[in-house]
Amino acid sequence: MTLTIRRARTSDVREIRSLVAPLAERRVLVSKDTVAYFEGLQEFRVAEIDGRVVGCGALHVMWDDLAEIRTLAVAADQLGHGVGGALLESLAQDAIELGVERLFCLTFETDFFTRHGFTEIEGQAVDPDVYVELLRSYDEGVAEFLDLERVKPNTLGNTRMLRQL
């Protein structure tokens, strides 16, 4: 069994949705419509073992020095085998190649992200002028990052974390 991390393809979208579905039902991840996965497909990487997609994760650039790790999910039977860590490090490498210096995540899995160099933060991870610019985004994930009231039901209990690259 060899773990491969690769860019997601359109043929992976239904498998990505299947990985996310149980986590969305538990409100650990935000549920999205299928079209949203297709629209953001270029942000995704998948983990594959023997042709089976066993994990996914996305990197969403938010500003010149900041990107968010999104939709990091691993099949239940692969938890604890390094799949999530391999995906996260692949996404971090993508961020470095894009010139990003910091990674943000909004998560319940603080132990996992701490093991991978993230630390909890309070308040905003951007300057006030950048905050104002980000308010113009239509992306719900950016609204969650900004901690806007309209997305509070989706973010209750999550921890804001940051990693310097």
Q: What's the token pair of residue 51?
A: 């042709």
Task: Could you list the beta-strand ranges (E) of the chain.
Answer: 3-7, 44-49, 52-63, 66-74, 102-107, 119-120, 159-164
User: What confidence score (pLDDT) does residue 139 get?
Assistant: 66
User: What confidence score (pLDDT) does residue 44 get?
Assistant: 98
Q: What is the pLDDT of residues 45-70, one digit of tens each?
A: 999 999 999 999 999 998 889 999 99
Domains of the chain by range and CATH?
3-164 (3.40.630.30)
